[in-house]
Amino acid sequence: MTITDPAVGPPQHPAWTEIQQSPEFGSLRKRLRGFVFPMTALFFLWYMAYVLLADYAHGFMSIKLWGNINVGLVLGLLQFVSTFAITMLYVRHATKNLDPAAEKIRKEIEGEDA
Amino acid sequence: MSTQLAAEVSGNPVLNIGIFGVFVAITMVIVFRASRTTKTAADYYAGGRSFTGPQNGVAIAGDYLSAASFLGIAGAIALNGYDGFLYSIGFLVAWLVALLLVAELLRNTGKYTMGDVLAFRMKQRPVRAAAATSTLVVSFFYLLAQMAGAGGLVALLLGISGKTGQSVVITLVGVIMIIYVLVGGMKGTTWVQIIKAALLITGGLAMTIWVLAKFGFNLSTLLGAAVDAGGANGEALLNPGNQYGKSETSKLDFISLGLALVLGTAGLPHILMRFYTVPTAKEARRSVVWAIWLIGIFYLFTLVLGYGAGALVGPEAIKNAPGKANSAAPLLAQALGGPVLLGLIAAVAFATILAVVAGLTITASASFAHDIYANIIKKGKVDDKAQEVRVARITAVVIGLVAIGGGIVANGQNIAFLVALAFAVAASANLPTIVYSLFWKRFNTSGALWSIYGGLVSSIVLIIFSPAVSGKPATASTPSMIKGVDFHWFPLENPGLVSIPLAFFLGWLGTVLSKGGTDAEKYAEMEVRALTGAHAEKATAH
């Protein structure tokens, strides 16, 4: 891409590998992956557990809790709740723990070859 | 499908067409205004990257809430009850993959297309060719579903039951869409999607409140009424298994569908491209957050609308209507507010198809012009950016014409099936490579090619030899695409359960078997840029 569009890659490359190896960047990566990987595993397992229950545990899902509201409906609505909750947790994590560090490194890179 | 029945359902065709005409007129004015500031490639493909997160979030909701998810899910809940609800859960949870793993990193490393990201640290030409192929295939299936849906809607809403009349309307939809894309580019298309999303969500909210008000704002009472209207089969509407619980095979099919839905969204090219229309990764995050709230809330509406249609219209009346399950939401509108509300909802449904089709067309044309024309044919040496945009515009016309033709041929096919197919192909061909390229250092060109082509070919071959294409009796509730022959050997209708893990496996296998190493310097650049946004594409100033 540096060939196709000079605006993307300046002629003097930032030392990408050096930055990548820096402890500062390492800690940013760790904080990103430390959040998104376990969270992805969590919502995926929770979703698949729900799909399997709806698929193979009809009796359990059909138990009525209040009036016509059964376990299946409540678990389904909880999927909505967990999706909204994970979204809010991630935004908070990113604003607090990722954005400032990313911004700092970005300024160092763009400053040095501007 | 008698004309008398169609006319009975359609209320007042003149009113329906009139309301739709107003929508087209307003959006056309906006599209022409947007065209004044569409000058560069970044303007045409990415709306100048000048949309805010919330604006883009609304546009994403407009792009994502297609006719299949509005009419389709409401209809599925009305007829099959709980199993229809499962679609909306998969469609929503899928957004977490986009939020956590894809949106921001993609925004930071790409320019216009999915191919930009996939080819970033690989051999440009083969990987771009693969990415463009898969973009075109996924967009084509999705387009086909929407255009086929337009035909079915016409039958229902305008009282046009003849094939010729429906074909004329499909052509009209295609032509309006081509004008949107040609004139307004991404900026115009985005505004059409924003307006459509606002109309759809407002309409959905109004109907939801109306339905709930009829049942004293008590969900349990509403469900009880749906059970009563369902007759002998009524109680089963509340429980899972109505549609997918019939046999062990259909249960596996359900897992396959669930997997394709949750992993497909973050591999849909027209969704990925929307992340380039905002100035920064932070805005891309905000747009996904907005999209998740809007889409989630809308799917909660469809739960009420689906059971509401079951309770107030009744499954028998829906099944006998010209559009079958797809007619549940419009029939509910008619039952609630008479012909005026029906006309409004009908216009919203048409607007939905128009907006989604426009988004798909601009994505497919961008991928052809940017990945194939500029980077493969011209080897990345297009000095004249205007030439690339010209190619994109010509491609948009060609794709529009193909969509019109395909829509006429596919008219009457099962829309939900075609959309599920697009999701399965996207989850198999695109998602593994996106995830590997962003997170796995060792991943290389042959891994990318194995995964994209392996996922693409396996998902399509399994679909061709599935009961969805041949072998089911014509009397089945969802008959096969080709009737009267049986060449199926794959038992499931959705290939995801096999093709998605296979594509992940092939990506790994192709990488470890290949002698070609990894470009460590390029990976360092990609990772640093992805996480920090350094040298990301900036918004164009006007």
Residue A63 has which token pair? 């138990």
Within-domain flag for B43: yes
Of the candidate ranges B265-269, B376-380, B420-424, B435-439, the one whose mean pLDDT is the lowest:
B376-380
Q: What is the pLDDT of residue B308?
A: 95
Cα-based distances in Å from B5 to A60, B260, B323, B324 = 41, 37, 11, 12
Q: What is the ipTM of this complex?
A: 0.91
Spatial neighbors of B462 by CB under 8 A, at least 6 apart, are B490, B492, B495, B498, B499
CATH of the domain at B373: 1.20.1730.10
Spatial neighbors of B131 by CB under 8 A, at least 6 apart, are B113, B114, B115, B118, B119, B367, B371, B430, B433, B452
Displacement of CA A68 from its chain's centroid (Å): 36
Nearest chain B residue to A71 by CA: give it: B239
pLDDT at A47 over 90: yes
| Domain, as residue range, for B19 | 3-412
Nearest chain A residue to B537 by CA: give it: A8
B386 or B122, which is more confident? Answer: B122
Within-domain flag for B306: yes
Within-domain flag for B535: no
pLDDT at B109 over 70: yes
Rounded to the nearest angstrom, the minimum Cα separation between A86 and chain B is: 8
Interface contact flag, A90 B99, Cβ < 8 Å: yes
Q: What is the pLDDT of residue A2?
A: 39
The whole-model pTM stands at 0.91
Q: What is the pLDDT of residue B9?
A: 53
Within-domain flag for B251: yes
Q: A interface mutation test: which of B95, B125, B239 has the most A CBs within 10 A?
A: B239
Spatial neighbors of B405 by CB under 8 A, at least 6 apart, are none
Rounded to the nearest angstrom, the minimum Cα separation between A46 and chain B is: 10
Q: Is A6 on the interface with B (CB under 8 A)?
A: no
Which of A30-44, B113-127, B476-490 is most confident?
A30-44
Report residue B407's pLDDT band, with 50, 70 and 90 as the boundaries. Answer: confident
Spatial neighbors of B80 by CB under 8 A, at least 6 apart, are B237, B242, B243
Q: Which residues of B touch A112 (CB under 8 A)?
A: none
Query: DSSP states of B12-51 as a string?
Result: -HHHHHHHHHHHHHHHHHHHHHHHTT--SHHHHHHGGG--
Q: Are the beta carbons of B386 and B43 closer than 8 angstroms?
A: no
Within-domain flag for B497: no
Q: A interface mutation test: which of B295, B525, B527 has the most A CBs within 10 A?
A: B525
Q: Are the beta carbons of B103 and B285 closer than 8 angstroms?
A: yes
pLDDT at A101 over 50: yes
Write out residues 26-45 of A within 8 Å (CB-CB) of B: 28-29, 32-33, 35-36, 39-40, 43-44
Q: Which residues of A touch B525 (CB under 8 A)?
A: 13, 16
The partner residue sitting opposite B240, judged by closest CB among A10, A25, A54, is A54
Q: Which residues of A touch B300 (CB under 8 A)?
A: 80
A40 or B14, which is more confident? Answer: A40
Interface contact flag, A5 B111, Cβ < 8 Å: yes
Within-domain flag for B356: yes
List the end-to-end C-alpha distance of chain A, in Å, as a whole number: 19
Nearest-5° Cα angle at B275, B274 to B281: 165
Cα gap B150→B129, rounded to integer Å: 31
Quick one: residue B379, left, alpha or beta (phi over 0 = left, psi -120 to 50 = alpha)?
A: left
Provide the 10 A C-beta neighbour count for residue B179: 18
**Count: domains in chain B:** 1
Q: What is the pLDDT of residue A75?
A: 95
Within-domain flag for B364: yes
For residue B1, what is the DSSP state? Answer: -
Residue A111 has which token pair? 């400053």
Within-domain flag for B496: no
List the end-to-end C-alpha distance of chain B, in Å, as a whole number: 53
Interface contact flag, A58 B245, Cβ < 8 Å: yes
User: Phi and psi at residue A64, in whole multiples of 5°?
Assistant: -85, 135
